[in-house]
Amino acid sequence: MAEQLLMPKATAVWLVDNTSLSFDQIAEFCTMHPLEVKAIADGESAQGIKGLDPTLTGQLSKEEIKRGEGDVKHRLKLSPPKVRVPEAKKSGPRYTPVSKRQDRPNAILWLVRNHPELKDAQVSRLVGTTKNTIQQIRDRTHWNSANLQPMDPVTLGLCSQIDLDLEIEKASRGIVRPEEVAEEERLLSAAQSQNYRSRERSEEEDGELDAAAVFAKLSSMKRKPEEEEEEEGGY
């Protein structure tokens, strides 16, 4: 749960209808003005709003309500959250602690050598560096190139394995490896083989038909001179 009350007005409606807490107690707990709470109790405000039970959301315990009902001066307190939700990461370059910044060139060298498909922007996101530094390490013009040793950024604690795998997957998406191309050239799929055989069969049948047509034409041409000779002899 968050450390801020969820739906304060709906919570105030429920507390007015289901407890004997004072207006001041409800107003302070729900971050409202006591007159607003009084208007809710009088039916002048929050009409149509369904009350929200804070004990069901885990933001207020029943014991805390009873304590407030027994002591008008008691101020209700939010129950501590049972689950801590991590804050969303802010966009922008990754922050690298000062103690680990000296390891970044080694991590960049490892990424460049082992995952050349990664773009400069991806390497920058992973280890929190600049494109200029990455290019210097690629070109071996970095001031400390002679002493650099490739080191896994995950082992160095510069990024997580999940982040690294995600960037590699993004970079590899749509890229066909050379060995896969060679495999495709050597082996035809079943559908391609079937289509190839069908084309060969149709070409053979066409060849047989063409040969039969040629022989038939030659036979007819041979018969024509013989018939003409018979006609001349009979005349």
Is residue 130 included in any domain, yes or no? yes
Shared-domain flag, residues 108 and 165:
yes
- What would the pLDDT profile of 132-149 be if each residue is shown by its tens digit? 999 999 999 988 888 999
Q: How many domains does the chain have?
A: 2
Determine the pLDDT at residue 23. Answer: 93
pLDDT reading at 83 higher than 80: no
pLDDT > 90 fraction of the chain, expressed in percent and rounded: 29
Determine the pLDDT at residue 183. Answer: 44
Q: How far, in Å, are 37, 76, 206, 218 from residue 213 at the CA level?
A: 102, 103, 10, 9
Is residue 235 included in any domain, yes or no? no
Shared-domain flag, residues 63 and 107:
no
Is residue 156 included in any domain, yes or no? yes
Determine the pLDDT at residue 188. Answer: 43
pLDDT higher at 38 or 198: 38
- What would the pLDDT profile of 105-135 be if each residue is shown by its tens digit? 999 999 999 999 899 999 989 988 888 999 9
Is residue 112 included in any domain, yes or no? yes
Determine the pLDDT at residue 136. Answer: 92
Average pLDDT, the chain: 76
pLDDT > 70 fraction of the chain, expressed in percent and rounded: 63
- What would the pLDDT profile of 2-42 be if each residue is shown by its tens digit? 467 878 889 999 999 999 999 999 999 998 999 999 999 99
pLDDT reading at 230 higher than 90: no
pLDDT reading at 176 higher than 50: no
Is residue 90 included in any domain, yes or no? no
Shared-domain flag, residues 64 and 115:
no
